[in-house]
Amino acid sequence: MIRITDSHCHLDFPDFETELSEVVERAVAAGVHRMVTICTKLHQEPTVRAIAEAHDPVYYAAGVHPMSVAKEPMTSVDELVALSQHPKFVGIGETGLDYHYTAESAEAQKQSLRIHIQAAQETGLPLIIHARDADEDMVNILREGHANKPYSCVMHCFSSSAELGKAALDLGFYLSMSGIAAFPKSGELRDIFAQAPVDRILVETDSPYLAPPPHRGKRNEPAYSMHTAKVGAEVFNIELADFAAQTEANFERLFSKVSRQQAAA
């Protein structure tokens, strides 16, 4: 069976509350043998951690989403580093900048992003970035942090400009392909992905959002990342099995703690 990893989902959201075990089982049956569920508000970290502990295929990351920064206590590097000690905690974030909905908290978002970058630098875990309508500030802060001390990073659910994509790739970062890349009108975005090195691509759902065709408009779930992988294979003009194998290698290179945790299990 072809196997892939859903590198970004939100299994703690209410959409999955009544059938979480079935959602995980359907993912595995579809060939999605690993999932990284993302905590976006740190007071919910115990819930997200418990999901990862209860389901072998599930790992987790935690941070403060930029759209939540104004409503949540400002985290600290020490807090994130402490959380990262859990064996199934594999990434820092999601963090980032969102000026589309929450531009009024831009300064707090930038402060939070810099804290998350420092936590990624100290832990060696990849940073997970959300970026929307904030390309210039995003590029400047990512470059500034990387110049101080290199770190790894994925631009989650990438749907920004070609310029931001190139800047991220130039820093050695990864671009993650979500269901948006599979939408019929996303030709421009697919062109951006096509210009990227295939060894820097991940696949995700961002479920319960952004279901790819043929499930568009419905609740998304990790199993559907296989539909996005099929589009990814078309974008890079390679066989699905080859694209899947490449994204698996990419994921394991970036989220190296997953491989170590699996080896220790």
Q: What is the pLDDT of residue 172?
A: 98
How high is the mean pLDDT of the chain? 97
Q: What is the pLDDT of residue 260?
A: 85
pTM value is 0.97
Please work out, in degrees rounded to the nearest 5, the angle formed at the alpha carbon of residue 20 by the alpha carbons of 156 and 245.
Answer: 45
Q: What is the pLDDT of residue 113?
A: 98
The pair phi, psi for residue 161, each rounded to 5°, is -75, 160
Domain containing 82 equals 4-264
pLDDT digits (tens, 9 = 90+) for 225-264: 999 999 999 999 999 999 999 999 999 999 999 988 777 7
Question: Smallest Cα–Cα separation from 121: which of 148, 90, 86?
Answer: 148
Q: What is the pLDDT of residue 86?
A: 97
Q: What is the pLDDT of residue 261?
A: 78
CATH code for the domain of 116: 3.20.20.140
Whether residue 63 is predicted with pLDDT greater than 80 in this model: the reply is yes
135 vs 28: CA distance, rounded Å: 35
Domain count, the chain: 1
Q: What is the pLDDT of residue 263?
A: 79
Quick one: tokens of 32?
């999605």
Q: What is the pLDDT of residue 46?
A: 98
Instruction: Please report which residue ranges of the chain form alpha helices under DSSP H.
Output: 20-29, 45-54, 77-83, 106-123, 135-148, 162-170, 187-194, 225-235, 240-254, 256-264
pLDDT digits (tens, 9 = 90+) for 70-115: 999 999 999 999 999 999 999 999 999 999 999 999 999 999 999 9
pLDDT digits (tens, 9 = 90+) for 7-41: 999 999 999 999 999 999 999 999 999 999 999 99
Q: What is the pLDDT of residue 262?
A: 79
Whether residue 265 is predicted with pLDDT greater than 80 in this model: the reply is no
Entry field: residues in the chain: 265
> How many CB atoms are closer than 10 A to CB 22?
11
Whether residue 1 is predicted with pLDDT greater than 90 in this model: the reply is no
Q: What is the pLDDT of residue 160?
A: 95
Three-class secondary structure of residue 56 per DSSP = coil
Name 201's bridge partners: 175
Quick one: tokens of 106?
């831009």
pLDDT digits (tens, 9 = 90+) for 140-179: 999 999 999 999 999 999 999 999 999 999 999 999 999 9
Question: Smallest Cα–Cα separation from 128: which of 56, 230, 60?
Answer: 60
